[in-house]
Structure 1
Amino acid sequence: MNEKSFYKLTYKQRIEYLTQKLNLSDQQVELITGANDLISDQLIENFLLNYDLPEGIMTNLKVNNKSYMIPMVTEEPSVIAAASYGAKMLANQTGVIAEVLDNELTGQIIIETHDLEQLNAYITTKQAHLIEIANQSHPTILKYGGRAKNISVRVLDHNLVSLDVNVDTAEAMGANIMNTMLEAMANELSSQITGQIIMSILSNYADKKLVKVTGKVAFDQLSKHGDGQKVAQLIEKASYISTIDYKRATTNNKGIMNGIDAAAIALGNDWRAIESSVHAFAAKDGHYVGLSQWRVVEQQLVGQMILPMPVGFVGGATKVLPKAQLNKDIAKIENVREEMQVLAAVGLAQNLAALRALVSEGIQKGHMNLQFKSMAMANGAKTSEVDMVIKELRKIDHPSSDDVIEILKDIRK
């Protein structure tokens, strides 16, 4: 057997093949086979095992006057603590006010043509017909209030054109719905226009799936030492810097996505689609900028953010994975628009906590306890030893893995 035929093997045969080829130990094989299930074996190709990441609960989140506890899946220390702290600061005022501005997915039919005039004329006169073909290719979407809505022609260069198709995908993220519709329209177009259809595919540039979130924080929530106004002013400056410096903007937006990704993964959504659309949206005006804006207004700090949120409440992994369904029940989210609003609010809370830490005590202070814990566990500390290791690490200016190993030796004596 060679690797080209690996996909044909049963699960048991895959394990046997890998054990022999890679000389896996009995302990390694046990780790693999003890973390598998029939669902995952059907979900992806060449399945090996379920790779676990920690899941925790973000607390204190209040969006549109409704309180939430949001499951978050992440391996990065302090993400959940920071998001919860940011949400607490926002909740002490009005909470986060969220609004879905648009909820349409965009798809593209790319055509190479030397007769743009003929293509434009056809789309103008036959748009309703093409939309009907799209809707009939996926009729179940009509039952849920979704549908193809419009088609526009966008010239890419002298002979390449993109037909941009907007679809309301209802409660689904809509990738499969969109691609089915596009292919149905492309089949019709291929016999009606002069030119060659290059491809038909959804776009992950989700500028028609936008959410706006706004939050306010009183000065006294930003500092325990009475200098909350100063902290607010520094946050405003930090926010401005992310609009003029792409290096700072990248880190700012990564912090926003720390929260959004973790919640999106927990809810069974395609976090990669969210990432790609968010970062592309940050560069929509020709230069990459931070997506959050914080301003001092009277006696409070006001934050606002508009960003794309291409998620689905039904279908795909959200339905197949039992834990994703459990997490939706924990979060008490009832539909896709609410999900979009909540995820964006998580990002705003995460950003607030990060900026407050950056301009006050520094980002490391909040990280260190959790970093120490990770360092201890990564170097062999048992659960019962972790607190003792952390206590000793705090006494060292710049602790390292070698320090953990020495501390463990002393403890175990």
Structure 2
Amino acid sequence: MKKPVDGFSKLTKEEKIDWLANHYFQDRKDAVSIIKQYWNTNAALQKLHDEFIENTITNYYLPFGIAPNFAINGHLYSIPMCLEESSVVAAASKAAKYWLKRGGFKAEVIATEKIGQVHFMYHGDKEKLVRYFNQIKPLLIEATDSITKNMRKRGGGILDIILKDKTADLDNYYQIHATFDTLDAMGANFINSCLEQFAKTFKAGANTYEEFTEEERDIQIVMSILSNYVPNCLVKAEVSCKVDELNEDQNISPQAFAEKFVRAIDIAKAEPHRAVTHNKGVMNGIDAVVLATGNDFRAIEAGVHAYAAKNGTYSSLTHATIDNGIFKFWIEVPLALGTIGGLTNLHPLVKLALEMLGKPSAKELMQIVAVAGLAQNFAAIRSLITTGIQKGHMKMHLMNILNQLGATDEEKSIVVELFHNKTVTHSEVIKEFNNLRAKSL
């Protein structure tokens, strides 16, 4: 049985690697070699990466790809995408080119409100608490002046603070529910700093509030934290065209394609099992751009999936209609993004990605990311209702299989040609590869 280690964080990087290699790997030299081959040869750049997180031993690379030809609100973008899954960038690029010929994507930010909460327990008269909150509210805002000063200068800051009675859900549970506009910053640190100050001021004020009994003064602050569920930080992206302009390169009429497409969306709205996979496809596009631009894709994922279940049943994030001969496809999605602060100022590739996008504001980035999700979903649905998803996906996956088999460049070229008009399956690729190797013996 392995023994726990004390003071691991205090070890040097080399010492951490030595400890891991000695305790967790059969081939110590091979493990160390793999770890170190991903170090950046630029020492300063490697040090920068080492300091992003704790206990760093190496870098984990993901491909950084580009999906060109996105026309959004009349501007042409090449969108950076960072992920490991085959066919996503190709599908997004194909959808971008498809809609480039049909007027492009339109996008608009509906709202940019972010949320934070102070969760507390109060044992006493609710009406007294309401009166206390109304009295202390201006002081809560005033107490954060030093925190909000710069944000207010730029036009953002605290939008409102309200008291929420949550005792129907949990005995004695209340919230200070605050809303914020953090402009081009994601704003997590800003919001959490404000919330913690609210909590201190709120609790301190309760100790001297005349109406409270001793028990009522004992307000128990449980935690102060932002919420990643931001239903009012919302962006809409859409495409539309005449039905007869759809799908000229498939063996299906434009009308039949449109109707089948809408039906596929309706199924994702009605069936949660389908909706989860459907929305995963949307997130293929969203997450890839979020990651490439240095934003928090875990926060985005959590907030988006909560939004997909906002009506009590998990459902499709996208919508489609046919109305008076016009096909329309759109998404409304909450995206709390930032273009300043965090990795946006540190990671060289993030800086490059944002420059590639024209150094967008947070609102512009929200629109770009929503479009990427919509494009990805369009490409997936288009494949599903025509050729099937596996034809394109397995073509892209073919190279992964060949790499696993250790194929040479020449062998890859031959096998790719063999599957030019043939369905790719793992077993068939192995069979053809083995046949090729046998012939060369």
Give the Cα separation in 1 of the matches to 2:198 and 2:440: 70
Q: Quick one: which of 141, 145, 154 aligns to 1:144?
A: 154
> What's the CA shift string for 1:175-230, capped at 9, x where partnerless?
11111110011010112233211100000101121101121144434241461221
Q: Quick one: which of 24, 29, 46 aligns to 1:26?
A: 29
* Aligned match of 1:192: 205
Deviation, structure 1 residue 91: 2.3
Aligned residue for 2:51, secondary structure, equals helix
> For the structure 1 residues 373 and 411, does the alpha-carbon distance in structure 2 shift closer, same or farther, using more than 3 Å as the test?
farther
> What's the CA shift string for 1:85-121, capped at 9, x where partnerless?
2222222223221111111210010010123322222
Structure 1 residue 121 and structure 2 residue 121: aligned? no
Structure 1 residue 403 and structure 2 residue 431: aligned? yes
> For the structure 1 residues 13 and 398, does the alpha-carbon distance in structure 2 shift closer, same or farther, using more than 3 Å as the test?
closer
Taking structure 1 as the reference length, what is the TM-score of the superposition? Answer: 0.94
The question of whether the paired residues in 2 share the 8 Å contact of 1:92 and 1:217 is answered with no
- Bigger radius of gyration: 2
Q: Quick one: which of 107, 111, 116 aligns to 1:107?
A: 116
> What's the CA shift string for 1:352-382, capped at 9, x where partnerless?
1111111111111111211111111122123
Root-mean-square deviation (Å): 2.0
Deviation, structure 1 residue 396: 7.0
Q: Quick one: which of 14, 17, 31 aligns to 2:16?
A: 14
> For the structure 1 residues 384 and 179, does the alpha-carbon distance in structure 2 shift closer, same or farther, using more than 3 Å as the test?
farther
Matching residue's letter, 2:54: E
Give the Cα separation in 2 of the matches to 1:283 and 1:73: 27
List structure 1 runs of 4+ shifted beyond 6 angstroms: none
Matching residue's letter, 2:183: A
Moved more, 397-406 or 49-58: 397-406
* Aligned match of 2:6: 4
> What's the CA shift string for 1:117-137, capped at 9, x where partnerless?
222222223323212223423
Aligned residue for 2:65, secondary structure, equals strand
Moved more, 297-306 or 173-182: 297-306
Superposed counterparts of 1:140-219, under 5 Å: 140-157=150-167, 158-193=171-206, 194=217, 195-218=219-242, 219=244
Give the Cα separation in 2 of the matches to 1:128 and 1:182: 14
Give the Cα separation in 1 of the matches to 2:440 and 2:186: 53
> For the structure 1 residues 170 and 361, does the alpha-carbon distance in structure 2 shift closer, same or farther, using more than 3 Å as the test?
same
Structure 2 regions of 5+ residues with no counterpart?
40-45, 207-216
The question of whether the paired residues in 2 share the 8 Å contact of 1:62 and 1:96 is answered with yes
Superposed counterparts of 1:10-409, under 5 Å: 10-21=12-23, 22-36=25-39, 37-115=46-124, 116-157=126-167, 158-193=171-206, 194=217, 195-218=219-242, 219-224=244-249, 225=251, 227-392=253-418, 398-400=425-427, 402-403=430-431, 406-407=434-435, 409=437
Deviation, structure 1 residue 270: 0.4
Matching residue's letter, 1:43: F
Q: How many corresponding residue pairs?
A: 413
Deviation, structure 1 residue 402: 4.1
Deviation, structure 1 residue 397: 7.0
Deviation, structure 1 residue 411: 6.3
> For the structure 1 residues 206 and 191, does the alpha-carbon distance in structure 2 shift closer, same or farther, using more than 3 Å as the test?
same
Matching residue's letter, 2:340: V
Structure 1 regions of 5+ residues with no counterpart?
none
Matching residue's letter, 2:12: T
The question of whether the paired residues in 2 share the 8 Å contact of 1:243 and 1:249 is answered with yes
Give the Cα separation in 2 of the matches to 1:132 and 1:159: 27
Deviation, structure 1 residue 408: 5.5
Aligned residue for 1:182, secondary structure, equals helix
Deviation, structure 1 residue 331: 1.9
Give the Cα separation in 1 of the matches to 2:285 and 2:94: 12
Give the Cα separation in 1 of the matches to 2:398 and 2:332: 35
* Aligned match of 2:42: none
Moved more, 311-320 or 29-38: 29-38
Give the Cα separation in 2 of the matches to 1:97 and 1:349: 12
Moved more, 314-323 or 14-23: 14-23
Aligned residue for 1:284, secondary structure, equals coil
Deviation, structure 1 residue 142: 2.4
Give the Cα separation in 2 of the matches to 1:340 and 1:52: 25
